[in-house]
Structure 1
Amino acid sequence: MRALILRGAVFGGLALFILLPLVQTFALSFMSTLPREGMVEGEWSLINYRNIAADPVLVESILNSLTYVLLNVGLCLVAGLPAAYALARYRFVGDRHFLFMMLAFRVTPPVVLSLPIFILFAQVGLVNRPLGIALVHCLFNLPIAIWILESFIRAVPREFDETAFLDGHSLPGFMVKRLIPAIAPGIGVAAFFCFVFSWVEVVFARILTVTAGKPITMAINALFTFQTDIGLVMAMTVVSLIPGVGMIWFVRNHIARGFTMRA
């Protein structure tokens, strides 16, 4: 009994440690933290969220982030699925080394490649555009997507492919009609990690958005001034959490099944 109480106290303290900052963030987002006419400082209201909706810069930053994150996820899945299938089903010299090399590239610090990527993108006109950030994030997230999808495809028996080809499916038709439904949990896991890595990345988001196309992370950073409106910052932080929570809710079943299958 004493051990059970101790365990409950430990988990309760851990939950409090994790959730307290989130609760404080959520509470401050509904407070007026600067003096305003007709409103007492610390008063509960929706003024911060109304200010977000009324500020075109903040609204544009939210749309920019959603644009390049969704582009990144789409590009990673479209390019990663055929590559993962090839690595899982075919053998060639250096195939395992190739996969390892891609994963090693993923752990390369982004700041190392920031200058050459900026110069290249400036020459082709991709600076200050969400498409440029999406392509860079795809470069770093694609190895993760290939690694995840390859492990799920490898778990599918080869007879599954052969049966589909005997039924008259072409390779593209087999992937769309048979393979994708069979590895849907793996696609959910890959999409989740690509989304998270892209949503929270700030190095290339800062470098490639000098004057325009700034994402929500840079918009939040710009709110810190000589007289920072903490309530507005917290409201933007809450808004930035919504897509991530929505993504988790959307793929929650696939993520759970995916990790179970890999185990």
Structure 2
Amino acid sequence: MKQFYLNRLSGVALVGLLLLSSCHSSYQLKKVEGSRIEISSKWDRNPDKEATAILAPYKTEVDSLMTPVVGKSAMDMEAGRPESLLSNLVADVLRNATVPYLGRPADLAVTNMGGLRSSLSAGDITFSNIYEILPFENSLCIVTMKGSNLRTLMENIAGAGGEGVSNVRLEISKDGKLLSAKVGGEPIDDNRLYEVATLDYLAEGNDKMVAFLQGEKKVCPDGATMRDLFFSYVKKQTAAGKEITSAIEGRITVK
């Protein structure tokens, strides 16, 4: 009998044991066992001195980047459906980030709740906080969409129970149907072209945002990651003596 051990570390360690028996020069799976091991500070009680010494210079460099305070939040912000303080803030930052490319903010912005992986607490903001909220290398994309396809995108958002949006007002039903949609305070014009600021991940139709695949044009500027855009926004507000704020505005309401 042969034993194979599988393990993976990612916040929680997954340890599996496969027991295989020999049968005429081949193997048959006899049993699968698994367990979960929580990776927490308890594993730091007896650190490996040699490993710690090797990592020390890298830790110092990372800490120098991640720990300095870059701004201040006036309130606690979390992400949640149908609308939330954090998703509203990030969507607004995304929409206004199109000014260098369009000469104005995009008509609207759409981001996904799943891309916001942490909350923002009231008080000091460090780059580490921003990295925890936006850990992925998602970048700005500007998708030009016909109004009829934009309406389908709003249906995608309604089906998800809400996502992060800017300059949009949606009414959705409890079972995820779109009841009404406005952009800039006006009903969607099926024949008009709209500029939508979003993430490259969503622009490819991921996270059930399949309507983006019907866009007329897609432009994704080099180097415009959502994390860096948010970081620049925080620094700019701080330089102007302003704290980071957000508000629930009825962008998405459930009827």
TM range (shorter): under 0.3
Higher relative contact order (CA 8 A, sep 6+): 1
By percentage of residues, which structure has more strand? 2
TM-score for the superposition, normalised by structure 2: 0.21
